[in-house]
C-alpha cells in the first residue's frame, strides 16, 4: 500500500558538508512517518555527497526509507528547488536550506493548523550570524501594527523566503523558480502569499537561518539586491498580467523602497547609478506605468508629503527614461540635506559658545 505523504521536505545542497548533518539531524528529530526528506545535491564539489550518504546509512531503520538522496549537475538553487518539488509526493512542501536547521515541533505545530484547512503555515525565524552568534535576533514574519494579514505578511521579514513557510504543493503549480538568477524566491513566494486566504501565521521562531560569511545574502549589497528583486517580480507580473491582484507585492518591493535605495545608489557612484537605471527602465516599464496610473507613490507608505512628491517625480522620470532629471532630483535632495546638516551644526556651535 502506497504511503500517504503529508510533508515533502526539500533540502537543497551545495558544498555544505560542514553544516548538512546538523540540518538533517534537526529534520529527523521533527518528522514522523507521513514525511519524506528529498535531498537534492546540486553538483557539490566538496564531500557533501559522502557525508550525506554516510548519514543516511547510519540512520535507524524507521528513518532510512524517509530520506531520499538525489544528485544532479550544478545549475543553481532555483533549479535544485524545481527538481525537489517535481520529485515530491507530499501534499505540502517545506524547503530547508542545508546550512539551516529547525525546531523539533516545526511539523507537529503545522499539522494542527493544516487540519483546520490552512494552505500556508508561516513561522518567525532566528537569524544567526556564524562569525558573531551574539548578534542573533528574531526576524518577525509579519508586521504587528498592520491589521490586514496579507499586508502584514508581505511587509514582514523574509517575505520572499520559502524556508520559513510550509506551502500546499498545488500552490506551486503555476510557478517555477527562475534559474540563473539570485533571489529566486521573490519570483514565487510573495505571489503565492497573494494567491490564497488560508494562511496561518505562527508567532514563534522555529526556523534557524544561518548567515554565513560567504552566503549569497551576506555577499550582496542591499542596493544590488533591490534591482535583481525588482526584475524577478516584474518578469512574473508580466507573465500573469494581473497587476491588481498583486498590488501589495508591487507596493512592498517597489514603492516602499525605491526612493531611498536609488538615492543611496546615486550617492555611491553616479556612473553605476546610470548603468543600473538603464537596466531598471528596460525591465520595469509596465510596473512603473501601473504605479503611476494608480498614484501609488501617494498611498500605503510612510513617506512624508514632500518625500511622496519626490518619489512620484522619480517614477515619472523612470517612465520617461530621463536619467538626467533623476540625477538633478537627487542632486537637489543631497544639497538640501547638506544645508540642513550645516545649519544644524551652526546652531549647535552657537549654543556651545553662548549657551542656551
3-state secondary structure 95-155: ECCCCCEECCCHHHHHHHHHCCCCCEEEEEEEEEECCCHHHCEEECCCCCCCCCHHHHHHC
Final residue of a domain: which of 218, 243, 266? 218
pLDDT tens digits for range 251-308: 999 999 999 999 999 999 999 999 999 999 999 999 999 999 999 999 988 889 999 9
Is residue 2 in some structural domain?
Answer: no
Q: Please state whether beta strands 165-168 and 120-129 pair in parallel, antiparallel, or not at all (unpaired).
A: antiparallel
Q: Which tens digit of pLDDT belongs to each residue from 118-150? A: 999 999 999 999 989 889 999 999 998 888 899
Helix (H) / strand (E) element for 39: namely strand 35-42
* pLDDT reported for residue 355: 57
Pairing of strands 92-95, 165-168: antiparallel
Domain end, chosen from 190, 218, 246, is at: 218
Q: What is the structure's pLDDT at 350?
A: 47
CA 39-124-179 angle, to 5 degrees, is 45
C-alpha 28/C-alpha 51 separation (Å) is 16
Q: What is the pTM of this model?
A: 0.89
End-to-end CA distance of the chain: 85
Together in a domain, 75 and 165 = yes
Quick one: average pLDDT of 52-81?
96
Q: Is 125 among the domain residues? A: yes
Residues 242 and 263 in one domain: yes
Say how far residue 267 (Cα) sits from the centre of its chain: 26
Question: Per the structure block, which three cell numbers stand in for 42?
Answer: 546540486
> What range defines the domain where residue 269 resides?
222-342
Boundary of a domain, candidates 218, 239, 271: 218
41: which strand partners? 13, 71
- What pLDDT is attached to residue 2? 59
Tell me, yes or no, whether 350 lies in a domain: no
> What's the whole-number mean pLDDT along residues 173-179?
94
pLDDT at 240 over 50: yes
Does a structural domain hold residue 352? no
Number of neighbours of residue 62 by Cβ within 10 angstroms: 9
Same domain, 88 and 213: yes
Distance CA 55, CA 78 (A): 25
Structural contact between residues 98 and 16, judged by C-beta atoms closer than 8 angstroms = yes
Give a yes or no: residue 348 inside a domain.
no
DSSP-derived letter for residue 220 is: S
The pLDDT, as a whole number, for residue 50 is 98
The whole-number average pLDDT for the span 308-328 is 95
Please indicate, yes or no, whether residues 229 and 201 belong to a single structural domain of this protein.
no
Q: C-alpha grid cell for residue 134?
A: 551574539
Count of domains forming the chain? 2
Most confident of 41-45, 179-183, 216-220: 41-45
Amino acid at each position: 500500500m502506497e504511503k500517504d505523504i503529508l510533508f515533502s521536505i526539500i533540502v537543497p545542497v551545495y558544498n555544505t558538508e560542514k553544516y548538512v548533518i546538523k540540518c538533517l539531524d534537526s529534520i529527523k528529530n521533527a518528522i514522523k512517518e507521513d514525511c519524506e526528506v528529498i535531498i537534492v545535491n546540486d553538483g557539490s564539489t566538496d564531500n557533501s555527497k559522502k557525508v550525506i550518504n554516510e548519514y543516511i546509512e547510519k540512520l535507524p531503520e524507521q528513518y532510512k526509507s524517509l530520506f531520499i538522496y538525489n544528485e544532479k549537475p550544478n545549475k543553481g538553487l532555483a533549479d535544485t528547488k524545481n527538481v525537489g518539488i517535481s520529485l515530491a509526493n507530499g501534499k505540502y512542501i517545506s524547503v530547508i536550506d542545508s546550512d539551516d536547521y529547525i525546531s523539533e515541533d516545526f511539523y507537529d505545530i503545522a499539522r494542527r493548523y493544516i487540519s483546520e484547512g490552512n494552505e500556508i503555515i508561516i513561522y518567525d525565524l532566528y537569524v544567526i550570524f556564524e562569525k558573531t552568534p551574539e548578534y542573533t535576533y528574531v526576524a518577525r514574519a509579519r508586521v504587528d501594527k498592520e491589521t490586514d494579514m496579507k499586508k502584514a505578511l508581505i511587509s514582514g521579514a523574509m517575505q520572499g523566503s520559502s524556508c520559513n513557510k510550509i506551502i500546499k504543493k498545488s500552490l506551486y503549480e503555476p510557478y517555477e523558480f527562475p534559474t540563473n538568477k539570485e533571489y529566486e524566491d521573490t519570483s514565487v513566494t510573495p505571489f503565492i502569499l497573494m494567491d490564497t486566504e488560508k494562511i496561518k501565521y505562527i508567532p514563534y521562531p522555529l526556523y534557524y537561518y544561518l548567515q554565513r560569511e560567504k552566503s549569497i545574502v551576506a555577499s550582496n549589497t542591499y542596493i544590488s539586491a533591490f534591482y535583481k528583486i525588482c526584475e524577478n517580480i516584474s518578469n512574473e507580473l508580466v507573465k500573469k498580467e494581473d497587476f491588481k491582484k498583486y498590488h501589495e507585492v508591487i507596493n512592498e518591493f517597489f514603492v516602499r523602497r525605491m526612493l531611498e535605495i536609488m538615492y543611496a545608489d546615486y550617492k555611491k557612484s553616479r556612473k553605476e547609478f546610470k548603468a543600473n537605471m538603464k537596466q531598471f527602465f528596460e525591465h520595469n516599464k509596465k510596473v512603473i506605468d501601473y504605479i503611476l496610473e494608480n498614484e501609488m507613490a501617494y498611498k500605503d507608505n510612510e513617506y512624508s508629503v514632500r518625500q511622496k512628491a519626490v518619489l512620484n517625480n522619480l517614477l515619472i522620470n523612470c517612465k520617461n527614461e530621463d536619467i538626467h532629471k533623476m540625477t538633478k532630483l537627487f542632486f537637489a535632495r543631497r544639497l538640501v540635506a547638506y544645508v540642513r546638516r550645516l545649519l544644524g551644526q551652526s546652531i549647535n556651535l552657537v549654543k556651545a559658545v553662548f549657551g542656551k
